[in-house]
Structure 1
């Protein structure tokens, strides 16, 4: 058997809360961050379209094990709808497929919003990453195929009309759950108001548990390339990383001793004692000396590790 190749990159671990620039793909952004940090591995939590800007949490190293928990977090978007045209992509990139000279007033827009609050049925855009019989919807749409995506439930926690800068545009803020397509909201608003509409600007300002003030502009990171000394440059970059454990505030936390930590590192369960110990849960995280050690389940008075972090 051949020897495994040595991993390239540094074994760093943490989250970078990137402020992704407009006209820059999510995959492109992850590659850029992985290269800047010289990281072994990287991944992101929640794709942003190239024409969207804002928060793109990027996990480096062991933090990639926490990606599913960030994917499930609430998200906040600020977006502008341009009235009068429906486009096949539901944003500025697409071709116009329907148009109208009608424009909604503020009263009509605000009256519509309660229908889009709570758990709603939403049909994702034809140009989306949703899989149909194993194929991505956007690949089928680009090939000229008719894309029939079934409606699915998404949750809208709140939606607010921020303003109407002119008759052709309205600006909104929405807080929503996993799987919500803001482009589909713009499309459906336009249809319901009888004037058509598409996204003309989109910015994500929150992916729970990360807040807007945690975002780091890509230009700040790129500027550090001017530092010639590798060690100094990488140390400056690492200051922007958020420890993996800080992304798991939604999970019950268990503090363990060094002896217990050793058992967990070996993949063994530990017995939980004390009245503050979780009774039973599918997901909990164990910490040792303030550092994330493991994610696992609690059952029958035990913590059973499922994912262990190097620390």
Structure 2
């Protein structure tokens, strides 16, 4: 018999303003412990040195994680020009240097080549798997992992500031799977001067913003194990804002809860669109809307 997972049935989203120095997994574990939650997961890894939005789903909200993972995200970061590191960030060892420093207009012109649908080779120190092993583990053992280029959509990449000749601050909005460290590395190569990330902050991820929604880890730890901590949670449906909503009848909600198509009373969705269903202010399911019915793909069990 499978061992039953301990913890409370708590559902919703917590937007942590992640501090530098912790892995995303460590933050998720702290949150799960603080809320005494049965289940928790995050929607998009941040490097340990990075700060900003780490969206953590608790309980049934974990079923909405893919909708945040797939959403656009915004990063603000500083590129250190003139140096390449083996990790493509300030944590690594400097492996190459160059005296050349490009002018602002040259940088702005180069950024255009990193927008739209591009191909990007992940950093050698990354969690990408090669023959079942993490690239970073191979790199730490002295190997030279060869990573294949991957597609990435970059909506925008803008020059924000140039505090001095060695540094340039950028802001990028991109889809899932992007490595900011790879952008800094490749930009430096394009400009003929090398480059790596000096610091990185995720400003927003899908509907979640650091300034408006972010909660510090200190506040979470201070209120740990107190049910009053639940006040910090955003509702499960906060992760579904990119989907149209349908309202279902009581009978439709009951059918959806059992995994069957349910009757829709009103709909923001077009025929064949993915949508989420609500009944009396509570999310019931996600599915495909067809001819007055929602056909469920994910069902939420929020209890009473």
1:104 to 1:275, Cα distance in 2 relative to 1, 3 A: closer
Query: How many Å separate the matches in 1 of 2:155 and 2:269?
Result: 31
Query: How many Å separate the matches in 2 of 1:192 and 1:276?
Result: 45
Query: How many Å separate the matches in 1 of 2:127 and 2:43?
Result: 14
Query: How many Å separate the matches in 2 of 1:187 and 1:26?
Result: 23
Corresponding residue number in structure 1 for 2:294: 303
Q: Quick check: 1:39 aligned with 2:37?
A: yes
Give the 3-state SS of the residue equivalent to 1:216 in structure 2.
coil
Query: How many Å separate the matches in 2 of 1:169 and 1:277?
Result: 46
Report the alpha carbon displacement of residue 148 of structure 1 after superposing the two structures with TM: 1.3
Give me the TM-score of the superposition, normalised by structure 1. Answer: 0.92
Report the alpha carbon displacement of residue 126 of structure 1 after superposing the two structures with TM: 0.8
Query: How many Å separate the matches in 1 of 2:269 and 2:241?
Result: 16
User: Structure 1 residue aligned with 2:145, among 138, 144, 147?
Assistant: 147
The number of aligned residues is 301
Give the 3-state SS of the residue equivalent to 1:138 in structure 2.
helix
Corresponding residue number in structure 2 for 1:286: 277
Q: What are structure 2's unaligned runs of at least 5 residues?
A: none
Deviations 1:36-95 (A, max 9, x none): 111001000000000000000000111111111110011001100111111111001212
Moved more, 32-41 or 104-113: 104-113
Query: How many Å separate the matches in 1 of 2:71 and 2:193?
Result: 33
Deviations 1:218-256 (A, max 9, x none): 12222325xxxx6xx322x11110111121011121111
- The Cα RMSD (Å) is 1.6
Corresponding residue number in structure 2 for 1:52: 50
Corresponding residue number in structure 1 for 2:227: 234
Report the alpha carbon displacement of residue 276 of structure 1 after superposing the two structures with TM: 5.6
Q: Quick check: 1:203 aligned with 2:194?
A: no
Deviations 1:183-236 (A, max 9, x none): 0010011111111110010000100011231111112222325xxxx6xx322x
Cα pair 2:287 2:298 within 8 Å, conserved = yes
Corresponding residue number in structure 2 for 1:220: 219
User: Structure 1 residue aligned with 2:89, among 88, 91, 99?
Assistant: 91
Corresponding residue number in structure 2 for 1:265: 257
Q: What are structure 1's unaligned runs of at least 5 residues?
A: none
Cα pair 2:127 2:134 within 8 Å, conserved = yes
Query: How many Å separate the matches in 2 of 1:276 and 1:177?
Result: 25
Query: How many Å separate the matches in 2 of 1:295 and 1:100?
Result: 53
Moved more, 194-203 or 243-252: 243-252
Report the alpha carbon displacement of residue 271 of structure 1 after superposing the two structures with TM: 4.0
The equivalences for 1:8-87 within 5 A come to 8-87=6-85
Query: How many Å separate the matches in 1 of 2:71 and 2:4?
Result: 35
Corresponding residue number in structure 2 for 1:252: 244
Moved more, 196-205 or 129-138: 129-138
Query: How many Å separate the matches in 1 of 2:8 and 2:156?
Result: 41
Query: How many Å separate the matches in 2 of 1:63 and 1:262?
Result: 19
